[in-house]
Structure 1
Amino acid sequence: MRKFILQLFCIACTLNVMAQKGKDSDKDPYFNQTTLQVTKAGTLEQAFAEANPDKHQGLRVIGPLNDADMRFIAKLAQPSLLDDLHSINLQEAQVERIPAHWLQGFTYVTHVYFPTTLKEVGAYAFAYTNSLCKADLPEGLKSIGQCAFVGTNIRRVNLPASVEKIGEGAFAHLKSLTEVSVPATNNNFDLVDSLLIRNADNTLLQCFKKGTGEVQVPEVVQRVGSLAFGGAKYISAITLPKAVTFVGEDAFASTYALESINVAEGNAQFVSTNGVLFDKGATLLICYPTSKRGNKYTVPATVKELATGAFQECGGGNAYKLINDKAEKKKARLNEVVLPEGLTKIGKWAFTFTGCQVNIPSTVREIGDSCFYFCKIEEATIPEGVQRIGDGMFAACYRLATITLPSTITYIGEKFVAYNSLETTLNVYALNPPACHQDAFADFSSSINLHVVKGQKKAYEKSKDWTSFIFNGVEDDLKAVVTGINAPAVPAADAVEAARYDLQGVRIYAPQRGVNIIRMSDGTTKKVLVK
């Protein structure tokens, strides 16, 4: 009898798989192209070698899997050829966790079918796997990590009742999304007017609004998560409620039609001035709306820091989505941003894809990665005190002809002048050749005339970091800089709090329970425990 029941069960499973194949194969041409069955975790690579399949664009796996098996699947999916893995069917596999960064950035993966045993999708597991269009979430899933599906093409986000945790940015930039749902039986999350809210801490996780118009963030919301509006490219205005005390990094990324960010009266942490979002003291400029009208903007003298992505895509090719007339768009477009003396930090991606002219004040001490990517900068002088040139800092600055680096510079990041085509003069005042990423000068298509401090020519010619790129020549005709730039601007006894961060390095605007990291006005940092 038991054998008979087992046979019926096997037949039922087979019919179910066949039915699933009939349902999915019309949209997934590689569904179940190759099947591998394992009985022991950690043996998938061996099973694949023994089977030696002619094709593996579609892979169906049956049996228990561990992290080694998942790494092997990722290896098969690495983007190199069109005949690499496209479709991954794990419905009959036993696996509880999709590893963090599992298929991040992979080009050809289009379909992933999860097993009912799945409990967790790790952070960045499918981040910018931009061909991924199907990855339905199974009942029983409990946790979805930070940025797990960011930048994919998945069309449905139907949260199971079982989901308890969702990281910020998990569903940002989903340009093909057509369906979102949260079951009434899930008490951990609410979907209100296309806004996904995490109830445990009243965090706005994601705005799924596809249409135009204004978004009024509900009064209950206290936190706006990182990338919360990422991809809401047609909304024109956002109003934050009185209760909001936290805005995450790059919360307004790719809001191409956004003209203003407003803050309800009585908010203790934030203020809006002419539609631009600042912290309450106007020392931090958080976001200048992408499609705010005006050819020139002068940042207030009170501002000491530009947040991550503060002017990202402002005035760029994606801005002014709701203006069709070319003459009107030209009249509205932002062309120049004037930064004040007293500014000390420019966050990463602050001017990425703006196409604007930007000055760099002499008081700046920290500049983030890809800060000026695709800006209309003709000459760039990095102030004394700056120690690091971030990755991609001046990439795609097609007008840039002269770069001057200070005596304090110690490191130059990856592809810092990539995609530029003008002959460039590079003045470096550092006596010791700065360390360089191995691809510091990669993808630069013209020539560089290198000028260094008198007497330092041999040091640069012998430096391994500086001999990997062929310069037009090295001239030691610069005068050494003598500076007391590293001396504290404020006596230590009089130092005051300048900024506060959590343990992940995310800026916070009020004391939060746990360990807070405080940056003082004299440049020092300290940790405090808030109970």
Structure 2
Amino acid sequence: MNDKNIFDALRDIDPAWILDAAPQKRSSPLRTWAKWGAIAACFCLVVAAALGIVFWQRGTEDPNGGSPFHTHVFGEWRITREASCSEYGEQTRLCACGEKETQPIALLPHFAGAWVIEKEPTIKLPTPDDPTQREPGLKCQFCNRCGAKLDEELIPATGSLGLAYAINPDGKTFAVAGIGNCTDDEIIVPENFCGYHVTSVMKGAFNACEQLNSITLPETVTEIGEYAFRGSSLVSITLPEGLLVIGDTAFSDCDSLKEITIPASAKIGKRAFEGCYALRRVILSEGIQAIAPYTFQDCWLLESVSLPDSLRSIGEMAFYDCSQLKEIHIPPSVTSIGEHAFSFCGSLKSITLPKRLMRIEIGTFAYCYRLESVIIPSGVTQIRDGAFRECNKLLSVSIPDSVVVMGDYVFGNCSSLERITLPEGLTVIGENMFSGCGALQEVNIPDSVRRIGENAFEGCDKLIQTEGDIGYVGNWAVSCDRSASHVVLREGTVGLIDKLFYDYGKVAYVTVPRSVKYIGSRAFADISSLKEIFYQGTCEEWNAVEKGENWDQYSSWYSVVFEPEQTDQS
């Protein structure tokens, strides 16, 4: 039924028919209105039903003018393009009405095949430029579906043939034991031997080996044994990054070795590079904490050393007699420098010591003939014997107030040193501390000093002031004319150095002023001619004078005379 038919039918309904169908009674107005209301309601229901049919019919029509829509019923999926490892596939399905639905198919995973060796490792490549070059091999893994390369790995060089090996105590690894039957002069040690890792170079393996020019160690090697390469003709070596131990004297006397880089993890043994006369350059990697004693002793041509910030200690004689070493930066992390660590570094010109250093050990910079300046940090409390002895070019030294003890010969024979300020708080000046400092013109002796060793200022002719038979530095009596028999110390003298009159055979009478507070060790010892010490004070004051050990040992019978007339028979 179309729209026109519905509305024609509604128009043809005669209301009178409805009224005639009812019994013909005289109706009240109320009943009449009720009848017309019912008729109106029926009419509305009919119209609503008609409109619903119309709109439902329009909603099912194809907007393109075709047949009405229906629910698609698709068939099975059919693959129209196969997927691969590198390209998506496609599948479709059809409805009876001809509608087609398309869907992609995911990439397939690679299907790894067996490893394929693309390049064999070699022992030697006979090329004109380098007839002994070694190269690793290469193996690759490909996808069996698409042929794409999935992975590749280097095959370690097969290494030099004929080397001798020994099984390690763990029974699972090998050590290189020596040159064996190998005729190569450029050795490559392989990672594996008989299917087991090579993890060490045996003690003395290449000791005194004269055919050795270079050696490359694999990353599997963690230890180089004692004297492993000692005295060999080795020129260069590549140490693995994972190396843990370099044994004592491992490379000592390798007098052709030119440079070395020591990995961060390595612990260096004593004398490891001692006597490597041709060694010019050393790099210690960040992470190394200690340089063992004598490590680079007698490396005469060593010019450059790179020390890491991780370094904590430098062992005794570590750079002894590295005569070409011109400069070295000691990192602030260093807390100790051993005895004679830089002795005989004749080209070293300047040095700045780290702030954490507590003391300068015996002979640390002795015989550094060209050393011109030194800055000593404020944390140092002791400068020990001969620390700067024979530093002929030393012009200035800054000594902080933290220093309380200075040993014997600290600046002995520093012939260019002109002036020095000793720190307040210094208590001891060691013997021969400034002996031979002929250019020295100015030294202050702090009030805190209680002892000065014998000959502390011997040969300091520009410094010593002579008055009578006594030579003075400040208010200390430091020398005496050996021919004098009657000696008078000037007023204001506070101390006598050790052995001031020791074994002076002619001294008979000595006048000591009341100002004297310190008499050094053996100051009046072994004086056979001594008859009288006249002290210009009381007996109590004399007894209060601080006297050093054996101050009058083996002297003949003498008297100490006081003011007023008090006598002490000794």
Structure 1 length-normalised TM: 0.36
Greater relative contact order (Cα 8 A, min sep 6): structure 1 or 2?
A: 1
